[in-house]
Amino acid sequence: MNKSQAKNRIKKLREEIARLRFQYHVEDNPNVTDDIYDSLNQELKLILKEYPEFIDPNAPENRVGGKPLDKFKKVKHEVRMLSINDAFSFPEVTDWENRISKIIGSLPAGKAGPASYNYFCELKLDGLSASLIYKDGIFVEGSTRGDGFIGEDVTENLKMISTIPLKLKSPYPSYLEVRGEVVMAKRAWNALNKKQEKENKPLFANTRNAAAGSLRQLDPQIVKERNLDFFAWDLIQLRIKNEEPASTQGGLIIKNHSDKHDLLRKLGFQVAPYEKKAKNLDEVFDFIKEIEKIRPNLPYGTDGIVVAVDELALEERLGVVGKAPRYIVAYKYQAERATTIVKDITVNVGRTGVLTPVAHFNPTLVAGSTVSKATLHNIDQINRLDLRIGDTVVIQKAGDVIPEVVQVLTNMRTGKEKKFKMPSVCPVCNAKVEKKEAASKQSSSLQGPRTREERGQTIANRTLLAGRNNTKSVAFYCTNKNCPAKNRRGMQHFVNIFEIYEVGPKILDRLKDEGLISDSADLFTLEKADLSGLERFGEKSADNIISSIQLHKKIPLWRFIYAMGIIHVGEQTAHDLADHFGSLTKLSEASISEINSIENIGPVVSQSIFEFFRSSASLGFMDKLFANGVNVYHEENKSKKFTGKSFVLTGTLSTMSREEAKKKIIENGGSVSSSVSIKTSYVIAGENPGSKYTDAQKLGVKIISEKEFLRMI
Average of per-residue pLDDT across 670-677: 86
Average of per-residue pLDDT across 43-70: 72
Alpha carbons 133 and 175: distance in angstroms, whole number: 7
CA dihedral 218, 221, 224, 226 (to 10 degrees): -70
Please report the pLDDT score of residue 260 as a whole number.
Answer: 94
Largest CA distance in the chain: 97
Q: In this predicted model, which residue has the larger pLDDT, 319 or 443?
A: 319
Give the range among 239-243, 647-651, 707-711 with minimum mean pLDDT. Answer: 239-243
**pLDDT higher than threshold 60 for residue 249:** no
Q: Beta strand pairing status for 369-375 and 355-366?
A: antiparallel
Average of per-residue pLDDT across 694-700: 92
> Domains (ranges, CATH) in the chain?
3-63 (1.10.287.610), 86-332 (3.30.470.30), 337-443 (2.40.50.140), 444-453+467-625 (1.10.150.20), 646-712 (3.40.50.10190)
Q: How many CB atoms lie within 10 A of CB 64?
A: 20
Average of per-residue pLDDT across 201-208: 82
Give the range among 65-74, 97-106, 306-315 with minimum mean pLDDT. Answer: 65-74
Q: Where is 355: in which H helix or E strand?
A: strand 355-366
Give the range among 255-259, 267-271, 333-337 with minimum mean pLDDT. Answer: 333-337
| Percentage with pLDDT > 90 across the chain | 41
CA distances (Å), origin 134, targets 137, 247, 506: 6, 17, 72
Strands (E), 547-677: 554-556, 631-633, 646-650, 671-673
**pLDDT higher than threshold 70 for residue 520:** yes
CA distances (Å), origin 681, targets 54, 296, 644: 55, 20, 9
Strand-pairing partners, residue 142, are 132
**pLDDT higher than threshold 50 for residue 456:** no
- 538-588 pLDDT per residue, tens: 667 888 899 999 999 999 999 999 999 898 898 889 988 998 999 999 999
Contact 658, 683 (CB under 8 A): no
CA dihedral 541, 545, 547, 551 (to 10 degrees): 150
Q: Beta strand pairing status for 337-349 and 392-396?
A: antiparallel
Helices (H), 498-538: 505-513, 528-532
Contact 135, 314 (CB under 8 A): no
- 362-397 pLDDT per residue, tens: 878 777 666 777 778 888 889 999 999 999 998 886
Question: Which of these is catalytic: 3, 67, 73, 124?
Answer: 124
Average of per-residue pLDDT across 156-180: 91
CA distances (Å), origin 226, targets 205, 211, 212: 15, 8, 11
**pLDDT higher than threshold 60 for residue 243:** no
Q: In this predicted model, which residue has the larger pLDDT, 351 or 528?
A: 528
Residue 496's contacts (CB-CB under 8 Å, 6 or more residues apart) are none
Under the banding of pLDDT at 50, 70 and 90, the label for residue 638 is low
Q: Beta strand pairing status for 337-349 and 119-125?
A: unpaired
Alpha carbons 88 and 83: distance in angstroms, whole number: 16
Average of per-residue pLDDT across 291-296: 90
* Terminal CA-CA length for the chain: 58
Catalytic residue status for 586: no
